[in-house]
């Protein structure tokens, strides 16, 4: 990349002149602002303490040396402490001509083995919009880090045990009448989700009735017969009661089958799936072992805690007084087991920012227990997805169901495509195209937002063939595809033999610069764990190509053949980068619309 060549050369010149050892980062060029003449700019101010020159003197020295050493630099301008470098047209022509799939590939001298845990739903309800953001972030992070030559292992931990699961089991036993997904003609995760909501509704009514009799709310909770039944069931499950385990296994399998259908629609796959039902005992064993060492506390009520107040946290329960596990218990066991198995360099938990405290506790507990790799664990936190009417609440059934949303996206894409006359409904691939548009709209709308931020999801806004949307970028790709196919049909060949002696338009130079930026953007996205950088880069590339296309004839050009071929090659390169970038986000592109 030209930016790397400039920064490396500037570093060598500066370090030799001033006998220092600064890295390339100190000399990394940025795009020159549009109001100034130039292509890339080096900022002098951070270097002045080493050179003891004025900004103008240092800029002139570096400008002269770079122009002498790099033949693609034709001129430079000094604006106060900024050195603006001008790149030759022939360099951009050569870059465009030689650009191919290999130009997008990234070299990584220090690849890591990275585990990314995402999705990890509870098996007592279907996936919802919040899970969609989680899964899309997990998939895109995995793709981006893999593209940067790391070995990435995608895993999920199913929360298939605990009091929340037992609540659903109690509800199915009391009010289910042996209903199954087949007899209800309903996906298993949806059916079980109904019973989770049913339990909460009946429990709330029970608490209200107890309070009406004069019992305080905190005591009413303890006297709830429904909650007592769920707690008893959890104890029976952990003791291996055959009847309870068989019921759990049956209901669990229904939910997992339902999850897999949704995952397939979203394009989500895992290299390995872990189950809390198989890992929580490992966590209990570790805690009991640490109890014997005196690292944790056995309380008077027989609960087990750890005091983290010195670490700026709190006292944390590791085992309840009845001996049952809590979330941290199984996370400890899973982490220890997973490191033993995979020996990872990094482990990211893709979990909402409401769990920041939980993962701080997990790291501190593992540190206290003597696991030296505790600092390899990182919480990739992200903001909540909200609706125009407010936050989602699973227990009340007030959620945007993932399957319903996907169906709505498909229907909206279908209706809008017909309204705008974008796609011929008689096309044999029509359904596949509409599905890709719908999923592209959903994925892009979510991933274009910085993960750290809360976001408002609006399905109608996400499906638009204009503006910063997935369908707009997909349509740009298919437009270029149409141009290229037309060129092939007219037997117009364009390859690496295009003449360098052509005049470039400013918009052509800008497009080639953006192609050159692709690897930098992907690198930055990997370093900052932010897929939004790639999403918004891709939109800008598509937007700029459309602007170029509007005022620049490509095939129907009155220009000479070499200019026409150059423009076709540039268009093809833009399409290649769009497809590659969207692929990193987990978005498929239709070949035509």
Locate CATH 3.40.50.620 in the chain. 118-386
Model pLDDT, residue 427:
79
Distance CA 164, CA 439 (A): 31
Give DSSP secondary structure letters for 176-196: -TT--HHHHTS-HHHHHHHHH
- Name which of 38-42, 202-206, 261-265, 392-396 the model is least confident about: 392-396
Question: For residue 175, how many other CB atoms are within 10 A of its CB?
Answer: 13
In this predicted structure, the answer to whether residue 241 has a pLDDT above a threshold of 90 is yes
Distance CA 29, CA 44 (A): 11
Q: Among all chains, which residue has been given the structure tokens 């080493």?
A: 50
> Which is nearest to 133 in space by CA: 327, 348, 351?
351
Long-range contacts of residues 49-55, Cβ cutoff 8 Å, at least 24 apart: 50/14, 50/18, 50/20, 50/22, 51/14, 51/17, 51/18, 55/80, 55/81
In this predicted structure, the answer to whether residue 397 has a pLDDT above a threshold of 50 is no
Instruction: Work out whether strand 73-79 and strand 82-87 pair parallel, antiparallel, or are unpaired.
Output: antiparallel
What's the whole-model pTM score? Answer: 0.90
For the chain, give the mean pLDDT: 91
Distance CA 514, CA 510 (A): 6
Confidence of residue 559 (pLDDT cuts 50, 70, 90): low
CB neighbours of 331 closer than 8 A, spacing ≥ 6?
Answer: 283, 358, 362
Q: Which of 3.40.50.12780, 3.40.462.40, 3.40.30.10, 3.30.1360.70 would CATH assign to domain 2-87?
A: 3.30.1360.70
Burial class (CB in 10 A: 0-12, 13-18, 19+), 187: buried
Q: Among all chains, which residue has been given the structure tokens 């893709």?
A: 350
Q: What's the token pair of residue 241?
A: 């009661």
Q: Which of 2.40.160.10, 3.90.1530.30, 1.10.730.10, 3.40.50.1820 would CATH assign to domain 403-584?
A: 1.10.730.10
Model confidence pLDDT, tens digit, residues 161-183: 888 999 999 999 999 999 999 99
Task: Report the CATH architecture of 118-386.
Answer: 3-Layer(aba) Sandwich (3.40)
Question: For residue 341, how many other CB atoms are within 10 A of its CB?
Answer: 12
Q: How far is CA 360 from CA 155, 167, 316, 328, in A?
A: 21, 28, 11, 11
Locate CATH 1.10.730.10 in the chain. 403-584
Burial class (CB in 10 A: 0-12, 13-18, 19+), 240: exposed
In this predicted structure, the answer to whether residue 395 has a pLDDT above a threshold of 50 is no
């Amino acid at each position: 990349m030209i930016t790397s060549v400039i920064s490396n050369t500037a570093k060598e010149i500066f370090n030799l002149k001033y006998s220092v050892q600064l890295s390339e980062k100190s000399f990394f060029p940025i795009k020159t602002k549009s109001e100034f003449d130039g292509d890339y700019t080096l900022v002098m101010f951070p270097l002045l303490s080493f050179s003891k020159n004025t900004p103008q003197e240092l800029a002139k020295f570096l400008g002269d040396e770079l122009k002498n050493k790099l033949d693609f630099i034709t001129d430079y301008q000094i604006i106060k402490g900024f050195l603006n470098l001008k790149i030759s047209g022939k360099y951009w022509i050569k870059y465009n001509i030689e650009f191919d799939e290999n130009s997008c590939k990234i070299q990584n001298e220090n690849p890591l083995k990275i585990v990314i845990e995402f999705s990890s739903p509870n098996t007592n309800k279907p996936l919802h919009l919040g899970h969609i953001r989680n899964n899309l972030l997990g998939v895109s992070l995995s793709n981006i880090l893999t593209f940067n030559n790391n070995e990435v292992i995608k895993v999920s931990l199913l929360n298939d045990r605990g009091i929340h699961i037992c609540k659903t089991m109690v509800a199915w036993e009391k009010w289910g009448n042996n209903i199954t997904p087949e007899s209800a003609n309903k996906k298993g995760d949806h059916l079980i989700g109904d019973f989770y909501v049913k339990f909460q509704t009946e429990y709330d009514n029970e608490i209200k009735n107890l309070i009406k009799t004069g019992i305080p709310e905190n005591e009413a909770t303890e006297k709830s017969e429904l909650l007592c039944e769920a707690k008893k069931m959890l104890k029976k499950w952990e003791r291996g009661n055959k009847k309870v385990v068989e019921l759990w296994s049956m209901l669990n399998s229904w939910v997992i089958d339902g999850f897999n259908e949704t995952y397939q629609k979203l394009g989500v796959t895992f290299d390995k799936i872990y189950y809390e039902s198989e890992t929580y005992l490992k966590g209990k064993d570790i805690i009991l072992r640490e109890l014997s060492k005196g690292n944790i506390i056995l309380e008077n009520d027989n609960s087990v805690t750890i005091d983290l107040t010195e670490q700026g946290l709190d006292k944390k329960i590791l085992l309840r007084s009845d001996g049952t596990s809590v979330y941290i218990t199984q996370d400890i066991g899973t982490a220890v087991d997973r490191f033993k198995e995979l020996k990872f360099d990094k482990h990211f938990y893709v979990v909402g920012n409401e769990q920041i405290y939980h993962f701080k506790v997990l790291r501190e507990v593992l540190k206290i227990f003597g696991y030296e790799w505790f600092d390899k664990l990182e919480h990739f936190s992200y903001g909540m997805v909200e609706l125009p009417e407010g936050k989602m609440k699973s227990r009340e059934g007030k959620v945007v169901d993932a399957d319903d949303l996907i169906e709505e996206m498909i229907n909206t894409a279908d209706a809008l495509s017909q309204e705008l006359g974008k796609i011929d409904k008689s096309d044999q691939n029509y359904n596949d195209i509409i599905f890709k548009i719908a999923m592209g709209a959903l994925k892009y709308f979510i991933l274009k937002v910085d993960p750290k931020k809360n976001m408002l999801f609006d399905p109608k806004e996400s499906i638009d063939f204009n503006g910063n949307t997935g369908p707009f970028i997909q349509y740009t790709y298919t437009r270029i595809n149409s141009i290229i196919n037309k060129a092939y049909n007219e037997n117009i060949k364009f390859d690496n033999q295009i003449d360098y002696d052509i005049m470039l338009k400013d918009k052509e130079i800008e497009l080639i610069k953006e192609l050159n930026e692709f690897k930098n953007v992907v690198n930055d996205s990997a370093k900052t764990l932010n897929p939004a950088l790639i999403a918004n880069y891709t939109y800008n590339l598509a937007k700029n190509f459309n602007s170029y296309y509007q005022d620049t004839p490509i095939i129907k050009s009155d220009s000479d053949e070499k200019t026409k071929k150059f423009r076709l090659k540039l268009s093809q390169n833009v399409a290649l980068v769009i497809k590659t970038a969207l692929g990193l986000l987990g978005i498929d592109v239709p070949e035509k619309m």
